[in-house]
């Protein structure tokens, strides 16, 4: 299994999230957080996440909350556009461009952003496995917390 990283920078003060439009390669034309493959030269998955953030958007996470996806609340550096990604901030108080993001984001992102102290079911830890076909189309997913598989009808 190949390890990859994905980071989301959250500007809590202004209630914004940083998404970047992928400009080339796998996922081109889709918004996502910076991240990518863990390379053999990376000392850890966290160092890979930091390296990818610096390479793709010019920001270095200072601290993150790990959930296979990284929420980054503090960083250093200046936001830059790279050959690979075109980053831009989106308000967390307004709908995200979900139609321009990977299909699975619609499923797990509400769990990712749910308040930890909420009595809502969304505040529970989440663990999903996504099943895609050869064309990278989401076919089904499994909520590993309750072991329920959901089929996608298209």
Dig out the tokens for 115 from the structure.
Answer: 């308040």
Full residue range of the structural domain in which residue 12 is found: 1-97
| Same domain membership, residue 69 and residue 117 | no
- Which pLDDT does position 154 carry in this prediction? 57
| Same domain membership, residue 41 and residue 90 | yes
CATH number for the domain harbouring residue 64 = 3.90.79.10
Contact 86, 23 (CB under 8 A): yes
Burial readout 52-87 (b: 16 or more C-beta within 10 A, e: otherwise): bbbebbbbebeebeeeebbbbeebeeeeeebebbeb
The structural domain count of the chain equals: 2
| Same domain membership, residue 110 and residue 86 | no
Number of helices (H), then strands (E), belonging to the chain: the values are: 2, 9
- Which pLDDT does position 21 carry in this prediction? 94
| Same domain membership, residue 124 and residue 91 | no
Contact 12, 73 (CB under 8 A): yes
Dig out the tokens for 42 from the structure.
Answer: 């990376």
Answer with the one of 48, 63, 97 that is the final residue of a domain.
Answer: 97
Answer with the one of 64, 79, 97 that is the final residue of a domain.
Answer: 97
- Which pLDDT does position 121 carry in this prediction? 46
Task: Tell me the β-bridge partners of 133.
Answer: none
| Same domain membership, residue 56 and residue 4 | yes
| Same domain membership, residue 46 and residue 70 | yes
| Same domain membership, residue 92 and residue 106 | no
- Which pLDDT does position 120 carry in this prediction? 46
- Which pLDDT does position 64 carry in this prediction? 65
Contact 104, 138 (CB under 8 A): yes
**Average pLDDT, 10 consecutive residues per value, the chain (154 residues):** 81 88 90 91 89 95 61 87 92 86 78 55 58 66 71 67
- Which pLDDT does position 15 carry in this prediction? 86
Collect all residues with Cβ–Cβ distance below 8 Å to 111 and sequence separation of at least 6: 122, 124, 126
| The overall pTM is greater than 0.85 | no
């Amino acid at each position: 299994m190949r390890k990859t990283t994905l980071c989301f920078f959250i500007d809590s003060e202004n209630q914004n999230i940083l998404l970047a439009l992928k400009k080339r390669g796998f996922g081109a034309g889709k918004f996502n957080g910076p991240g990518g493959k863990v390379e053999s030269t990376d000392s850890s998955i966290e160092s890979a996440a930091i390296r990818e953030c610096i390479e793709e958007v010019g920001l270095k996470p200072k601290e993150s909350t790990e959930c296979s996806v990284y929420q980054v609340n503090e960083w250093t550096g200046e936001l830059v556009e790279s050959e690979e990604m075109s980053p831009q901030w989106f308000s967390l108080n307004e709908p995200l461009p979900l139609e321009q993001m990977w299909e699975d984001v619609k499923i797990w992102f509400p769990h990712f952003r749910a308040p930890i102290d909420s009595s809502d079911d969304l505040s529970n830890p989440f663990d999903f496995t996504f099943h895609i076909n050869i064309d990278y189309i989401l076919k089904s997913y499994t909520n590993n917390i309750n072991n329920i598989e959901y089929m996608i009808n298209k």
